[in-house]
Amino acid sequence: MKHRFPVNFFGGIWTLLAAGCLILVPNEFARAQSTQEAIAQVTPRMVKIFGAGGIMRLQGYCSGFLVSPQGHIATVWSHVLDEGEVSVVLDSGRKLKAKVVGAEPRLDLAVLKIEGEDLPYFDLDLSADAAAPGSRILAFSNMFNVASGNEPVTVLHGVIAARTKLEGRRGVFDISFPAPVYIVDAITNNSGSLGGVLTTRDGRLLAMIGKELRNAQSNTWVNYALPISELKEPIQEIIAGKYTPVPTKLADTPETSPRHKPLDFGLVMIPDVVARTPAYVEEVAANSVAAQAGIKTDDLILFVNGELIQSCRHLVEVCDKLEDGTMVDIVLRRDGKLETVKLVVPDKAE
């Protein structure tokens, strides 16, 4: 049973709200009525950032967005900012020097400052609420450094595919973020797009585009963005000059969660002396899962769960990805014959 209110009740509320916004918010950010209108509202608030890099695959540019009328700019904490001072090109084409005034590496966040006043900016208090999967978005960034001078940044369209935690661990995603991120179906994360933004279709700020991220297991690229709801407080505190970064060693960062090593299975491998030391077993600890599975000294580990083990180092990487309590198939070579053994990954906490 739905409750029905007279139409004019809502009308009255909206009028009041709209009036409130107009009075309280100098940086009026009306909800756009069309995609073009949203683009026209967002684009002047975007900046192009040029700094360190430009060698190998490290591009010396990224994106950012203005978060205060005095020229505070939020972007992703990356190598581009390594020298502390960068060049910022505004949407108008003006080129200015910017300094890093604060950073929270745990959140991949950095805040820069240019000299300015009355600049167009995103009022973080007017950002969009969390968006559910299926929500349509626009993405703004200077990906591939396509836009130069006063040329507007690139705009992509897409849909939020998921809101999920990125499990940062070696061999899968070399990145971590303590809160759920948005995964989008558009190819938003390219060279130079870090520090760009996702907005709703009506132009409200939703998230900051993250780094380029490849899943080493599947060789696929992940397009993710960091919710503004997580970044808003630190950005506002950095602007206010009263921010202290959270100590990096936090219990909730996945980086610190324990991972498996060959020794956890009772395997002592031969000394890893060259780049591709074959994965020979030096010793098997008594009563270990490896011993129970029948692994012996001098066995060569060839496959773990079907993955060819190319070296001792590779074995460490593969063990790193194993989950507690799962079944593992290992193929060994012993005396010129192949042997298959099965074992269960022991619980790391024990």
Partner 1 sequence: MSQLLHNIGLSCIVLLELASTLQAADPAVLAAEKQRIEVCEHVAPSVVAIFSPGGAGGGSGVLISKDGYALSNFHVTDGAGKFMKCGLNDGVLYDAVIVGLDPSGDVALIKLFGRDDFPHAKLGNSDACQVGDWTFVMGNPFLLATDFQPTVTYGIISGTHRYQFPAAGNILEYTDCIQVDTSINPGNSGGPLFNAAGELIGINGRGSFEKRGRVNSGAGYAISINQIKLFLDHLKSGRIVDHATLGATVSTGSEGQATIEHILENSEAYYRGLRYDDEIVSFGGRPIGSTNQFKNVLGIYPKGWKLPIVYRRGGETKEIWVRLRSLHRLSELTATLQPKPMQPKPGPRPPGKRPNKEPKEGDPEPPQAKGPHGPPPPPEQLKKFYVEKPGFANYYFNEVQQQRVLKALANWGKFDGAKGTWQITGTIGADRKYETKLGDTVAGLVIPELPGKPAEAYVQKYADLTDIQDEPPGTGGLLTALSHLRLLLLRGPKAFTEFYYLGSEPFDGKGEIVDVLVAGLAGAESHWYFSRETGALLGYDFIRGENQDRCEIRIDSMQDLPSQRKFPKTFRVLHGDQPTVIYHIDQLNLETPAA
Q: Which of 2, 4, 57, 337 binds partner 1 (CB under 8 A)?
A: 57
Q: Does 92 bind partner 1 (CB under 8 A)?
A: yes
**Span near partner 1 by CB under 8 A; candidates 36-44, 126-134, 261-269, 327-335:** 36-44
> Contact between 56 and partner 1 (CB under 8 A)?
no
Residue 78: name the closest of 198, 191, 238 by CA.
191
Among 27, 69, 94, 123, binds partner 1 (CB under 8 A): 94
Q: Is 33 in the site for partner 1 (CB under 8 A)?
A: no
- Count the residues of the shown chain that bind partner 1, applying the rule CB under 8 A: 36
Please state, in angstroms and rounded to a whole number, the distance separating the CA atoms of residues 195 and 18. Answer: 30
Q: Determine if 200 is a binding residue for partner 1 (CB under 8 A).
A: no
Instruction: Tell which one of 119, 143, 315, 316 touches partner 1 (CB under 8 A).
Output: 143
Q: Which two tokens stand for residue 26?
A: 């100098």
Among 190, 199, 200, 288, binds partner 1 (CB under 8 A): 190
Rounded to whole angstroms, how far apart are CA atoms 86 and 80?
8
The C-alpha atoms of residue 205 and residue 247 are separated, in whole angstroms, by 28
Cβ-Cβ contacts under 8 Å for 55 (sequence gap 6 or more):
none
Radius of gyration of the chain, Cα coordinates, nearest whole angstrom: 26
Q: Output the smallest distance, CB 15 to partner 1, in A.
A: 26
Q: Counting contacts by CB under 8 A, is residue 212 touching partner 1?
A: yes
Alpha helices (H) in the chain, listed in sequence order = 7-24, 35-42, 228-240, 289-293, 312-320
Q: Tally helices (H) and strands (E) across the chain.
A: 5, 20
* Among the residue ranges 76-84, 137-145, 251-259, 315-323, the one whose residues contact partner 1 (CB under 8 A): 137-145
Smallest gap from Cβ 299 to partner 1, in A, equals 28
35 near partner 1, rule: CB under 8 A: yes
Cβ distance to partner 1 smaller for residue 103 or 213: 213
Q: Does 218 bind partner 1 (CB under 8 A)?
A: yes
154, 176, 199, 200: which one binds partner 1 (CB under 8 A): 154
DSSP state of 129: P
| Choices 86-94, 250-258, 293-301, 327-335; region in contact with partner 1 by CB under 8 A | 86-94
Query: Quick check: 147 binds partner 1 (CB under 8 A)?
Result: yes
SS3 content of the chain, % helix, strand, coil (to 5): 20, 30, 45
Interface residue with partner 1 among 79, 95, 136, 276 (CB under 8 A) is 95
Q: In the complex, what is the shortest distance from the CB of residue 301 to partner 1, in angstroms, rounded to a whole number?
A: 22
Alpha carbon distance 31, 264 (integer Å): 56
Cβ neighbours of residue 304 closer than 8 Å, sequence gap 6 or more: 315, 318, 319, 328, 329, 330
Residue 27 CB, nearest distance to partner 1 (Å)? 22
Shortest Cβ distance from residue 306 to partner 1 (Å)? 13
Query: In which residue are the tokens 């696929």 written?
Result: 220
Beta pairing, strands 197-200 & 61-66: unpaired
CB 298 within 8 A of CB 284: no
Tokens representing residue 288 in the block: 């270990």
Name the residues that contact partner 1, by CB under 8 A.
34-36, 38-39, 43, 57, 92-95, 138, 143-144, 146-157, 186-188, 190-191, 212, 214, 218-219, 221
